[in-house]
Structure 1
């Protein structure tokens, strides 16, 4: 159990929840069997024969059984002499356990093969016919559903069930504290803990199993929410620098000089941040807003409030491209206010600096000195900010952009950089459904920016299927030229970089026919590529930036239009030059990978073509699409695919094309990807620390548990009167998880 399933204790074994129930059906004699029906029967093994299969690898074990009833002759269904042949494929255990004369209980689906009834790989349980008590108990349990557990080849579901049944019979439940307070269990009509475990693993019927799961699901929600609420209360008691700002400071002058009016939502969220920063306890706030909602302006206003209070603010960005973009946009927005102490700068302003890993050594030393001395009021950087060589004079506010791109350890390192705990603002353009935010970020306040700033235009999105419409390839390039000739700019996005010598001698439409013959290499639901399963053909067939740049260069429609290539393998200096040329309008078409996915802001870019869009997930496509529509011009996004209609990945593309509502797409995306490891560092994927609770599905349970946890802690802050709940929190939240919760 420990080696195969990481189950090391009795508690962990009992918390290994069956993933489904198999109905045994009513105990049925051979005479009453019905085709295609699930049946359970007790029978005697007549003979067992194992042989190698002729047309495929492996073995087949044929077990002939009888119910000892008298059915001479043959009927229309092929029943003869009250016997049935069961087939087990590659079942060495069955061949060993089911010997002639053995009595066993068999459960499975009745099918028809070569004129006779049969079952294939039925569930079985040998019975001891010499022990009347065991046989009678088996008969009584024959109508119970069979619990099917998450198992491995060596630790089968039957072995797990046997172990569970063993421990259920010997546990002294008086020594096992119940995490669910009695008043909550009574209020919801839940059974006691021993009965709940019995019904979870050995339910008398399906309804009892669902009621038991509801009890444990509620318990999980309560344990998690109590831990989060308690952690939030503890964080609120820690000291932090009060950063009230001042009415005539840099923040006020910045707002007065803005060339546009803030949205009502930006004003409201800004007031929330201002109030948090003015307190003597650390702000812990998650700011989420859809792509283009104007989060950066709100965050900059908060950073300027910190500067007005005599502290420093740090903005942590996931890539050098995005860090440089933030630096340029903040410098531009502040104007002279960003260059205090320099010629032409405002002496009452501040100093904004950029720190990245690719900076020349001399510039890096100068920037580090400005940070350490306090001269730099706003520090923008990448992971380089997390280096031990970076020392802040007085760090008051940490802003983390696109928080999902940083691990918990990385986010936490900046917060430990100062003598006091700085305020924390984490931002994401990947909208998070409310219950997921409550579960994953339960000890953070959540602010949501609604709507788009004035002047933004909606983005029109279309799916372009080249397999059914091969002539549309020419129209894609012609449409791009029209956009450039109108004074706009274009993104061409490819899923991989590729090499120049790997460019196939064919166009997109031609390759669509070839690709249709290649097996799928990506997960048809999430779009994620699995390197373990991936065949070389589809990977090589993906559109690359090298291939795309070649097509653009050879395209008669785009001849003479300046183009450039941007991807992660470029030297940082080259990246900066390419982005600068595109931002300045010197480049008409930018062929790129997802390096532009986050934060790149070129308002004049109005046309995006995502090639092999089926290779991307929903959230990634939405982020990419957010690079256009950032100005006052109408924008268009084309999702180009060479997959056939009806392919599962086309459903994802249709979903993205149907709406620009990030929250609606996030719900669909998270339903596909699940929540990931809620309490650990994993931030996506199937593995979850939670056993039964699903943040996406159990909205009512989570909200109710949140209320109950708050009520419990208000009356009993140290959980002295709730030892079971306290013990469950201590057992389920190890040291690493406690740190995770503390960091937010």
Structure 2
């Protein structure tokens, strides 16, 4: 949008003014004419087709009928007051009903006149009718906008509607805006890209998206605008990555030394999988280039990410640097510390734990050891980013479950050395490929897509509420074998809005079925003091209790190999990624493990799809793809905290092919013209100068 008129404040558009401008800014973040033109329709009503009344049925999304209004009558009183019309064509008649604007409609509707009637057919008492239809006088000689076209539908709000800015009101503003700017609109993408990808011009796409005359034009406009949006996101991300590589030199790890080799040859408790070997090799190559590494490692729970991270930290230590690992919770930090300490033994290198609970005396000793270089590896929580935590020579940083940290928190670790340390961020939440290309497009991504040999797949089953006695019996059988059971609830206390079995009521039920002294139960939820929570966790870890009743606080950070059963109450209320994370709490030992998904007897279509997916597959990446389709990118665990771009028209769940095409195109451009100095790329340079490349997660997110 090179034309200056697109940056004109919205209040100066004909038909807006100060009051409407104010509500447009607050409700839709529309500040300029350009913002308005990028407020695209979210669906279209096909007004090119007419139905006969005999074809009308209540399952239709909408129906357009050409007929005559034969009668109009006001019936009922007060709240029951309504306007009822009879509408007829040559195949029959139907009742039209209005509950609002009755006086105005009585004056404006003409009995006996021909109308185009459009609305959603509904059924009441066996009769099909249309409530609040749109009525347009039919004139055979002329075709008006909104009649015989693909009619756009724009998102609006109740506040906007009070200012007559419903979908039709917004469409009128779009028409006024295009009349002003259309002639001055300039192309935003180089001509060779339009030709190569067979894209409609920008001005024509903008006209067709708001006022489509036929379906083919509309589809071409949508594809053009989606491609452009995804292309420029990738251009910014990959340009950012290119600049970071040039700007930030990194520590060079050119030695594979004694500590790494000793661990690999003597201390590894099991052989690395091929996927683990591949990722270790990628890290070794990255850290030997002289540029700072920014790599995301993703893999399912139990895939061995922590061992890979430890080997990378040993590589740093062999080259004379310190390393640290930051986890989002004390429980997870303690778990990492215990696991890594047992793998390292007492003599390979020094390792300490720093959390909010670390006593002051121990904290001072850790600070001293860090600064004099005698401490090799520090594991901790947010405590690591405090200003008083100073390293002698930090060279490698691992961030676990990175989506739980804000960008600024991660950046504080990044600044702990004059030369930024290499960054390895890990997540056990599998990220769909499309989301990874957008959220982490400026990072290198490694995937550990193999589980260690000997792991038995977790058996997942779905039971309805009326099958609960069977579940209790199964729990008793597993406990009798010496196993332990998790029971997870979505809420702590009863919610008036959600009909859920909440933790407190569930606990009472379990205490009746599993009474003392035969059975002992631990309780953990997010509202408990940290000390109480840790105490209850430890009782379960030590095997002093057989059942752990919890909320989703145990989603990350509990490792109890003896726990073989995960029961998730009201599982239909959880997102797929969360269900998958919870399931990963079991299956950590040699015994067969089970995940039981409990639900109410009535399931929504989405709820059924989620549970069917969980039962069918344990592939985290397949689950993440389904979750993206069901919930959209903004809702998937942690993505909003990571600064995901709010897109105007593209959809990461459905536009994978366009995204892949756009990213490949950007990569090819940088391969042939790394500095974008060729004249044919002047438009791309202009775009980056105006809107890039500062994406909020630019360095390590």
Q: How does 1:465-484 map to 2 (within 5 A)?
A: 465-467=464-466, 469-484=467-482
Aligned to 1:21: 44
Distance 1:140 1:42, change over 3 A: farther
2:334 equivalent to 1:324: yes
2:700 equivalent to 1:689: no
C-alpha distance in structure 2 between counterparts of 1:596 and 1:368, whole Å: 31
Query: Is the 8 Å Cα contact of residues 67 and 87 (structure 2) preserved in structure 1?
Result: no
Shift of 1:571: 3.4
Q: How does 1:412-427 map to 2 (within 5 A)?
A: 412-427=411-426
Distance 1:160 1:660, change over 3 A: same
2:133 equivalent to 1:122: yes
Shift of 1:380: 1.2
C-alpha distance in structure 1 between counterparts of 2:354 and 2:125, whole Å: 75
Shift of 1:156: 0.5
2:435 equivalent to 1:436: yes
Structure 1 gaps of 5+ residues are 79-83, 130-134, 337-345, 503-533
Shift of 1:16: 1.2
Q: How does 1:227-266 map to 2 (within 5 A)?
A: 227-244=236-253, 246-256=255-265, 257-266=267-276
Shift of 1:441: 0.8
C-alpha distance in structure 1 between counterparts of 2:633 and 2:191, whole Å: 30
Q: What does the per-residue CA deviation read over 1:553-610, in whole Å, with 9 as the maximum and x for residues that have no partner?
A: 4435774244422333333334334434433334433333222212422222222222
C-alpha distance in structure 1 between counterparts of 2:124 and 2:319, whole Å: 82
Q: What does the per-residue CA deviation read over 1:94-146, in whole Å, with 9 as the maximum and x for residues that have no partner?
A: 6499376999974414969999997542335689x9xxxxx966458732221
Aligned to 2:489: 494
Aligned to 1:463: 462
Aligned to 1:535: 496
C-alpha distance in structure 2 between counterparts of 1:492 and 1:677, whole Å: 25
Distance 1:157 1:559, change over 3 A: same
C-alpha distance in structure 2 between counterparts of 1:699 and 1:449, whole Å: 22
Note the aligned Cα RMSD (angstroms): 3.6
Aligned to 1:142: 147
Shift of 1:26: 5.2
C-alpha distance in structure 2 between counterparts of 1:125 and 1:379, whole Å: 72
Aligned to 1:571: 529
Query: Is the 8 Å Cα contact of residues 87 and 95 (structure 2) preserved in structure 1?
Result: yes
Distance 1:317 1:50, change over 3 A: farther
Secondary structure of the residue that 2:594 maps to in structure 1?
strand
Q: How does 1:273-422 map to 2 (within 5 A)?
A: 273-336=283-346, 346=347, 349-422=348-421
C-alpha distance in structure 2 between counterparts of 1:441 and 1:494, whole Å: 32
C-alpha distance in structure 2 between counterparts of 1:658 and 1:33, whole Å: 44
Shift of 1:616: 2.2
C-alpha distance in structure 2 between counterparts of 1:496 and 1:126, whole Å: 54
Secondary structure of the residue that 1:142 maps to in structure 2?
coil
Shift of 1:327: 0.7
Match of 2:92 among 77, 102, 118: 77
Secondary structure of the residue that 2:697 maps to in structure 1?
helix
Distance 1:46 1:166, change over 3 A: farther
Shift of 1:191: 2.5
C-alpha distance in structure 2 between counterparts of 1:596 and 1:238, whole Å: 41
Q: How does 1:546-585 map to 2 (within 5 A)?
A: 546-555=504-513, 559-585=517-543
C-alpha distance in structure 2 between counterparts of 1:726 and 1:102, whole Å: 62
Shift of 1:227: 0.9
C-alpha distance in structure 2 between counterparts of 1:491 and 1:65, whole Å: 61
Q: How does 1:591-670 map to 2 (within 5 A)?
A: 591-644=549-602, 649-670=607-628
Q: How does 1:218-229 map to 2 (within 5 A)?
A: 218-229=227-238
Q: What does the per-residue CA deviation read over 1:53-97, in whole Å, with 9 as the maximum and x for residues that have no partner?
A: 5565xx64567899xxxx9xxx8835xxxxx98543324796499
Shift of 1:184: 1.7
Alignment coverage as a number of residue pairs = 663
Secondary structure of the residue that 1:170 maps to in structure 2?
helix
Aligned to 1:518: none
C-alpha distance in structure 1 between counterparts of 2:112 and 2:361, whole Å: 84
Q: What does the per-residue CA deviation read over 1:467-489, in whole Å, with 9 as the maximum and x for residues that have no partner?
A: 2x2532441432232232xxx33
C-alpha distance in structure 1 between counterparts of 2:128 and 2:583, whole Å: 57
C-alpha distance in structure 2 between counterparts of 1:230 and 1:649, whole Å: 40
Q: What does the per-residue CA deviation read over 1:670-702, in whole Å, with 9 as the maximum and x for residues that have no partner?
A: 111111189x971599x9611222223222211
- More moved, 694-703 vs 586-595: 586-595
Query: Is the 8 Å Cα contact of residues 40 and 142 (structure 1) preserved in structure 2?
Result: no
Secondary structure of the residue that 1:241 maps to in structure 2?
coil
TM-score by length of 1: 0.80
Shift of 1:369: 2.9
- More moved, 582-591 vs 224-233: 582-591
Query: Is the 8 Å Cα contact of residues 241 and 442 (structure 2) preserved in structure 1?
Result: yes
Aligned to 2:211: 202
Aligned to 1:215: 224
Aligned to 2:684: 725
C-alpha distance in structure 1 between counterparts of 2:391 and 2:524, whole Å: 33
Distance 1:55 1:361, change over 3 A: same
Distance 1:53 1:376, change over 3 A: farther
Aligned to 1:339: none
Distance 1:39 1:653, change over 3 A: closer
Aligned to 1:517: none
Secondary structure of the residue that 1:446 maps to in structure 2?
strand
Query: Is the 8 Å Cα contact of residues 374 and 394 (structure 1) preserved in structure 2?
Result: yes
Structure 2 gaps of 5+ residues are 1-23, 57-61
Secondary structure of the residue that 1:393 maps to in structure 2?
coil
- More moved, 326-335 vs 567-576: 567-576
C-alpha distance in structure 2 between counterparts of 1:455 and 1:723, whole Å: 56
Q: How does 1:147-186 map to 2 (within 5 A)?
A: 147-153=152-158, 154=161, 155-171=165-181, 173-174=183-184, 176-186=185-195
- More moved, 249-258 vs 559-568: 559-568
C-alpha distance in structure 2 between counterparts of 1:243 and 1:658, whole Å: 45
TM-score by length of 2: 0.85
Shift of 1:170: 2.2
Secondary structure of the residue that 1:590 maps to in structure 2?
strand
